Each structure stands twice: as C-alpha cells, then as structure tokens.
C-alpha cells in the first residue's frame, strides 16, 4: 500500500504492479545461483584442519559429500557428530568513514552413521546415512558516511527498477520520442548522508546416503545421493538524508513532478526469505597402495534446484514541498529452477608413518549454471546469457598435512584452501583464501575427538547485494570458524 499526502496516483501504480508478472530480479537470481553452487566448507573437524583435502582419506560419514569411495576403508560401524561455531567480520570504508560489523552462529553441523558389511575375507561394503550443514549464510554488513557524490545505493535500483523505488520518487523511467522505454534514471547520486545495514542468515543442509564397495584389493568404488535444502534470509535497509540542503526546491527527483522538488530524506527496506531444494549424486573412485599412496577421483552430478522467494519491499521519502511518500510492505513471491554446475575432483595422499600429506583440485565451470524454468522464456534466456557473460571456469585447490605423535593418540594438522572468484576478470583480492589448523585425540581407535579452526579472508565484490547495494563501499570480509567433532567406533 502506498500513502501520499494529496494524491492516490501512486496507489494505482502499485495495483498495476501487483497485477503484472513478477520478473526475476537479476542480481538476486545471480546471488541465489552462486549460493547454491559454491562448494561448502564445513564437514568435520579433521577435514577442516587439513584444509578439506579429504577426498582420499575420508574414511567416515564425511566421505558422502567428498568422495563416497573412501567409505570402503571405514574402521567399522561408526557414529559421528560435529558442532560448528563461527564468526563473520565485515569491514567497510565509505568515503573515508570506516565501519566494522560482526555476526556469530553456533549449530549442530553434522551427524551420521556408517555400517560395514563383510562380503568375504578380503572385501567389505559400507553404507552410510546422515546429514551435513556445509554452508552457513550468517553474514551482514554496515556502512555510514557522507556521500560526496558519484553514485549511491539508488544506482542499484536504476539497474533493477521496481515500482516501490519509483513510487518513492527515487528513480524514474525514461522513453524515446516513439515512447519506447530506455531505462530508469536518478538524480540521487550523492551529496547526502548515507547509511546501509544488511543482516543475513540461513544455511544449506544435505540429507545424504551412500554406499562403497571394495571391488579389488586397493580399488574402491562409491556412490552417494543428497537431498539438499536450505534457507536464506536477508534484511537490507538503506537511508539517505540531505543534511546540507544540496537538493533545492528547483531540483525534482522526477522531472516535471513538482511534488518531488526539494528532496529531504528517504528510507528503503528490502526483506527477503528464500528456500532452496534439490538433489545431487556423487560418484567416487579410490586406489590405495597399501597404506602408503592413494589417488582418488570424484564427480558430482547436480539436478535442478528449486528456488522459492518471498520479498517485501517498503520505504518512505519526504520533500520540502510537503510531500511524503510511504510504501507499505506487500509480499511478492517468485519461484524458478536452476541447475548448479558439475564438479570434478582429483586427489592424492602420501602416508609416511607419522606424517600424512594430502592435496586435491576441483574443477567447476560456473558458466554452466542455468535457469531451466519458473520464469517466462525470454527472461530465462536473458538470465542464462548473463551467466555466460559474467562467469568463468575455476579450479579450487586444497592441501593439508597431519602429524601423529607416536604412541600417544595425539595429532596436529594444518592446511590451506584457495578458491578463485567465479566472476570473469576479477582481480585476486576477490578470491577466497583460507588457512586451517587442527588437533585430534584418538583413544584406542574407538573414540576420536577433533578440533578444526579456519581463518579466511577476501575483498567483497561491489555488486554482491547481500552485503551492500552501494558500489562505492570498499569491503573486506574475514571468517573465523571453529568445528568440534566426535566419532565413536563400534
């Protein structure tokens, strides 16, 4: 609902908007696709401590999300559980004003069973089932400062116009001499106090089952399937105030509309709740030469994921003419289907008595993401062309090592991860970099307790709207994650 002193025109405009087809917001759809497609970080504490280079040595439930073939070397029937606690630190610099924001979260991130079946004296089959939360969307950010001009958060509304932004007088459509729509514009490009506050939450869960079979001495095959479900909620609020009277009565935010002369302030609120659902299957192969050398390969086949979103847009604005616009939140729902990209991983391990080294590489072609339904075909085609234009192929790298102190059951671990940005031509500062450490206690091969720690950092892309809508904000994010795992062997 839109309220405005002395006019009901904007209310009529909102009615027309609600009766018209809902288009897929371009940047929001891109964010959803990346959120579903990116590899997870959180499996168990041993894996995390070794930089998640675990696809050759993961002889427990975590193998289902890495390489199910390694299940075949399980020590016996096992039950494992992990608890994760993390912190996300966001730092921004906005026209010389620095802001810092921190969020934290604690969850039960994994629980699973493995059960072996001996086929003969030398071979066994192992099945496993359980769930994993490998992604935590607990993020957010703030910025605040005097915008001296050039652009503002309103620029993102120009790129993805909606009736709420137009109804507040923040943007306006333009047309050529023949009445054809050319795009939206704004005069609100700076010279006001601007603030932004974004709070995100949610996670991605995988309910998995799988089986591994030792086909021959040292050769194992495995397959796993996962039902993936997740939620993402974001609360984005932006405000601008003309504290220096830069916009006089002669400056109209909508040319020709005297009500919009003398801009004073505006608030824009974008609240979204999104659900993700889909399936994937992973195939794995492992070759082990004694307990000395191992090589592995795994391949993830994703199926279509459904993305359902409900969005609430609202806001207010005021002008020196006495006009006050208010748009009350009205739910707008949309749903579409997209296919995440395939993943191919190769790994290797070397075990030298008390020291084990592991490494792996994963190839992902993010340009293969594809919207497959839920929107009109022309819009679907435009979205998929944008994916081809903006995304590229990458290789994620993981490496780790584990040192076992003889005769004590104690172990220490270290690792690293490097994940290039999936966007074309991004400089290296946007790549995700992680360093990890870990400790473990093994009690007679019956009880394992492990702790893994991750520290990560990167610069935030200016168009990642889940953190900010203003491209002038310089953003740096750091991650701290502490994962505790216990495994019982029966």
Query: Per-residue pLDDT tens for 102-128?
Result: 999 999 999 999 999 887 766 789 999
- The pLDDT of residue 1: 45
Q: Work out the pLDDT band at 461, boundaries 50, 70, 90.
A: low
Structural domains of the chain, with CATH: 2-489 (2.40.160.60)
Quote the CA–CA distance of 34 and 382 in Å, as a whole number: 17
Across 209-218, 276-285, 460-469, which has the greatest mean pLDDT?
276-285
Give the mean pLDDT of the chain.
89
What are the tokens at 342?
A: 């395939």
pLDDT in tens, 209-266: 999 998 888 899 999 999 999 999 999 999 999 999 999 999 999 999 999 999 999 9
Quote the CA–CA distance of 217 and 289 in Å, as a whole number: 9
Quote the CA–CA distance of 354 and 406 in Å, as a whole number: 7
Q: Work out the pLDDT band at 141, boundaries 50, 70, 90.
A: confident
Handedness of CA 293, 299, 305, 307 (dihedral sign): positive
Distances (CA, A) of 176 to 13, 173, 182, 252: 21, 11, 7, 20
Mean pLDDT of 451-477: 69
Q: Work out the pLDDT band at 414, boundaries 50, 70, 90.
A: very high
| Residue spans of alpha helices (H) in 44-96 | 45-49
Cβ-contact 240, 188 below 8 angstroms: yes
- The pLDDT of residue 74: 83
Cβ-contact 333, 13 below 8 angstroms: no
- Residue 49: pLDDT above 90? yes
Mean pLDDT of 13-42: 62
Quote the CA–CA distance of 218 and 290 in Å, as a whole number: 7
Helices 26-37 and 377-390: crossing angle in degrees, nearest 10, is 60
Q: Kindly give the pairing relationship between strand 219-241 and strand 293-302.
A: unpaired
- The pLDDT of residue 460: 74
List the one residue out of 237, 265, 236, 255 whose CA is nearest residue 171: 255
More reliable by pLDDT, 391 or 160 = 391
List the one residue out of 133, 139, 99, 87 whose CA is nearest residue 465: 139
- The pLDDT of residue 27: 55
- The DSSP call for residue 386 is H
């Amino acid at each position: 609902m839109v309220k405005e002193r002395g006019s009901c025109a904007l209310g009529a405009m909102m009615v027309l908007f609600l009766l018209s087809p809902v288009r897929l917001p371009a940047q929001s759809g891109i964010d959803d696709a990346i959120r579903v497609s990116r590899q997870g970080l959180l499996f168990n504490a041993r894996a995390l401590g070794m930089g998640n280079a675990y696809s050759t040595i993961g002889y427990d439930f975590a193998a289902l999300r890495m390489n199910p073939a390694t299940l075949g070397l399980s020590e016996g029937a096992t039950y494992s559980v992990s608890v994760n606690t993390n912190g996300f630190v966001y730092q921004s610099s906005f026209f010389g004003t620095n802001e810092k924001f921190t969020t934290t979260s604690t969850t039960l991130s994994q629980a699973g069973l493995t059960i072996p079946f001996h086929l003969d004296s030398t071979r066994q089959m192992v099945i496993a089932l359980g769930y994993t939360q490998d992604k935590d969307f607990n993020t957010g950010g703030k910025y605040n400062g005097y915008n001296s001009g050039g652009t503002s958060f309103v620029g993102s509304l120009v790129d993805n116009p909606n009736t709420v932004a137009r109804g507040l007088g923040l943007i306006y459509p333009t047309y050529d001499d023949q009445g054809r729509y050319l795009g939206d514009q704004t005069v609100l490009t700076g010279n006001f106090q601007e603030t932004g506050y974004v709070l995100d939450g949610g996670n991605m869960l995988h309910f998995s089952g799988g089986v591994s079979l030792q086909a021959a001495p040292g050769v194992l095959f495995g397959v796993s399937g996962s039902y993936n479900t997740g939620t993402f909620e974001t609360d984005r609020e932006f405000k601008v105030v003309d504290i220096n009277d830069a916009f006089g009565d002669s400056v109209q935010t909508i040319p020709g509309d005297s009500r919009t002369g003398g801009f004073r302030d505006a608030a824009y609120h974008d609240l979204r709740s999104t659900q993700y659902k889909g399936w994937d299957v992973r195939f794995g192969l492992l070759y082990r030469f004694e307990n000395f050398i191992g090589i592995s390969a795994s391949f993830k086949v994703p199926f279509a994921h459904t993305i359902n979103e409900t969005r609430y847009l609202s806001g207010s604005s005021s002008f020196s003419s006495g006009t006050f616009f208010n748009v009350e939140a009205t739910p707008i729902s949309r749903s579409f289907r997209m296919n995440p990209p395939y993943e191919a991983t190769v790994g290797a391990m070397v075990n030298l008595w008390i020291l084990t080294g592991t490494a792996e590489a994963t190839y992902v072609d993010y340009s293969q993401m594809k919207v497959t339904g839920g929107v009109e075909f022309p819009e679907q085609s435009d979205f998929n062309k944008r994916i081809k234009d903006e995304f590229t192929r990458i290789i994620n790298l993981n490496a780790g090592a584990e040192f076992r102190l003889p005769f004590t059951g104690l172990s220490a671990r270290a690792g690293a991860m490097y994940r290039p940005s999936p966007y074309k031509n991004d400089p290296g500062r946007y790549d995700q970099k992680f360093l990890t450490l870990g400790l473990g206690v093994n009690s007679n091969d019956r009880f394992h307790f492990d702790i893994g720690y991750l520290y990560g950092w990167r610069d935030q892309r200016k168009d990642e709207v889940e953190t900010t809508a203003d491209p002038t904000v310089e953003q740096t994010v750091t991650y701290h994650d502490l994962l505790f795992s216990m495994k019982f062997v029966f």
